[in-house]
Amino acid sequence: METDTLTIEPAEPMTRDDLKADRPTWCPGCGDFSVLAMYQKFLVDRQYPQEKIATLSGIGCSSRFPYFINTHSVHFIHGRIIPFATALSLTRPELFPFVIIGDGDAFSIGGNHLTHAARKNVNLNVIILNNQVYGLTKKQTSPTSPLGFRSKTDPWGSRMTPVNPARQIIGAGATFFARASAANPKHLIQMYERMSAHEGFSVLEVLSECVQFFKGSFDGASSGKGGDFVEIGPDHDVTDEGAAFALAEKPFPGVFGVFHEVRRTTLNEMEQENIRAVAPAELQRPTVDKLKDSFNRLT
């Protein structure tokens, strides 16, 4: 079905300027700036064809990404970008789709989709910008807000156990999970590389501070602010799910790096298998002839 009509042009490398779009409207100091800058740098490093990159998001501060990056982009509805991106990944395998969502999209309104995409092992990169608060709507409790967090919906402090992203996503069956921080761009870009190199459902959680409504939330992971950014050591076996869960249990701010990476048949491969099971000659036959076969059986 694919008819690529692109003409071959002298390849000029894509630059960060090519990828710049509107000036981000995030609050000054927001962690998302760094995530965006490193996303652009990563895309430039990889030199994906610009027209084949798709930046896909849901709703929230972080989901404003599409307006600030000059790629084919989608600003979808709250919670549902993962099934949207699943379809794009299945039907247009030559593209490079990146899903960028917040903790509300990922773990609250879209939680069902995240767990099922992990289970099905959709070939997709999902970057979750976790700021542990609803920022766009001005400080309500998010599913990752820590115990005791005072918000406008929990003025007495949150009493609900927060989601543990690593445990939840690995538990759901994701074949890649890594953790990074907006405050450590050098490490972040390494994680982009690792995530994009993985075939299968890849989730990268990025701690990205909301300076307006949860200032200082991630100081504990920032060496510049008296904290400690602890990277996962080389002894960690990323294929050992038990070891990954053990890392996930480390108290906040936890550890950073690749928790888990295994190879399992992707949904894309399974669906392609269904098409490949059709004889090549049959696939090539015109639609009208195949439909006639079906209709002839119904006479």
Partner 1 sequence: MSNPSSISNSVIRIAGNSQDGIQSVGTMLARMAGRIDMDVMTYMTIPSTISGGPSIFQVHMGTATVLTPGDLADVLVAFYQHSYENHIESLRDGGVLIYDDTHVDPDLDALRQRRITPVAVPMTALTVETVGGTGTQKGKNIFLLGLLTRVYRLDYDKVAALVKEQFRGKDESVVRNNLLALEAGYAYQIGDVGSFFTFDIKPESGETNVTMTGNQALAYGAIAGGIRFGAGYPITPWTEVMEILRRELPRYGGTFIQTEDELAAIAAAIGGAYGGTPSLTGSSGPGISLKTEALGFAVMSELPLVIIDVQRGGPSTGLPTNVEQSDLSIALNGSHGDAPRVVLAAANVEDCFYIMIEAAQIARRFSVPVIVLSDQALATRLEAFPYPNLDSLVEEPSLNLATRESHKPYPLDAPTHHAPPGTKVVDGRYPTITGLEHDEYGNPSGSAQMHTRMTHRRSDKLRRLAAELPPPEVYGAKDARTLLVGWGSTCGVIRSVVDQSITSGEPLAALHLRNLNPLPPSLAEIFAKYDNVLVVELNEGGVNGCGQLGRLLRAETCQPQIRGITKSDGGSFRVSEVLERVRGILESTRRPATL
Q: How far apart are CA 25 and CA 223, in angstroms?
A: 27
**Chain residues 55-84 in contact with partner 1, contact rule CB under 8 A:** 66-67, 70-77, 79-84
Q: Where are the alpha helices (DSSP H) in the chain?
A: 16-19, 32-46, 65-68, 81-91, 103-104, 111-120, 165-172, 185-197, 241-248, 267-276, 280-284, 287-296
Q: Considering the complex, what minimum distance in angstroms separates the CB of residue 255 from partner 1?
A: 31
Name which position in 24, 50, 136, 243 contacts partner 1 (CB under 8 A).
Answer: 50
Q: How far is the CB of 215 from partner 1 (least distance, A)?
A: 26
Q: Which is nearer to partner 1, 1 or 156 (CB)?
A: 1
Provide the minimum distance between the beta carbon of 209 and partner 1 in the complex, in angstroms, as a whole number: 24
Considering only 16, 92, 138, 215, the residue that binds partner 1 (CB under 8 A) is 92
Contact pattern from residue 232 through residue 261 relative to partner 1, giving x for each residue in contact according to CB under 8 A and a dash for the rest = ------------------------------
- What percentage of the chain's residues is helix, strand, coil (to nearest 5)? 40, 15, 45
Residue entry with tokens 């890649």? 176
Q: Report d(CA 278, CA 117) in Å as an integer.
A: 26
Cβ-based nearer residue to partner 1, 117 or 178: 117
Q: Does 8 bind partner 1 (CB under 8 A)?
A: no
Q: Is 271 in the site for partner 1 (CB under 8 A)?
A: yes
**What minimum distance in Å lies between the beta carbon of 102 and partner 1?**
16
Determine, following the binding rule CB under 8 A, whether residue 94 of this chain makes contact with partner 1: yes
Residue 172 sits at the vertex; the CA angle it makes with 166 and 176, to the nearest 5 degrees, is 55
3-state class (DSSP) for residue 203? strand
If one asks whether residue 12 binds partner 1 (CB under 8 A), the answer comes out as no
Cα–Cα distance, 244 to 286 (Å, whole number) = 50
- Does 161 contact partner 1 by CB under 8 A? no
Please select the residue that binds partner 1; options are 30, 38, 43, 54, rule is CB under 8 A: 54
What's the min distance (Å) between Cβ of 208 and partner 1?
Answer: 21
Count CB-CB contacts under 10 A for residue 137: 14
Which residues are CB-neighbours of 84 under 8 A, at least 6 positions away? 56, 74, 76
**Residue 167 engages partner 1 in binding (rule: CB under 8 A):** no
* Among the listed residues 211, 158, 155, 218, the one whose alpha carbon sits nearest the alpha carbon of residue 188: 218
47 part of the interface to partner 1, by CB under 8 A: no
Q: CB of 89 within 8 A of CB of 124?
A: yes
Measuring CA to CA, how many Å separate 278 from each of 92, 273, 275? 19, 9, 6
Residue 11 touches partner 1, criterion: CB under 8 A? no
Residues that bind partner 1 (CB under 8 A): 1-7, 18, 22, 49-54, 66-67, 70-77, 79-88, 90-92, 94-95, 97, 112-113, 116, 271, 274-275, 277-278, 282-283, 286-288, 290-292, 294-295, 298-299
